[in-house]
Structure 1
């Protein structure tokens, strides 16, 4: 996992729920750093620097497209 890079940072666990589904649907290899700690102790998310979406550099363009589409699609699923 040393080759993975941070593609985005989120503050709360609920922000990544839909994103997980979209990433899996697209076949992107990813993991969320600090996700477990944020689930257990939500206020620790700030101390840890947020929930970090880690992806392989080869998937970065796809992830950026998914994030942009999710944020600007005009639905109620925008990333906060």
Structure 2
């Protein structure tokens, strides 16, 4: 199924936002969304507190949201 122009633009903006992430934020994002790890598992694996992992995930959401807000 082909994406509409609007969907393609939105996807491009999300990709742009994800490219702005630090390596650690990128790894946390991937672990949560693609490796199906819990915050607790990510924290243990990354030697971070759960609170720190949650803060980093919030940062990822803010970065993506900001990129989408700047759109047409």
Give the TM interval when normalised to the shorter protein: 0.3 to 0.5
Indicate the structure with greater helix content. 2
**Larger Rg: 1 or 2?**
2
TM-score normalised by length of structure 1: 0.34
TM-score normalised by length of structure 2: 0.36
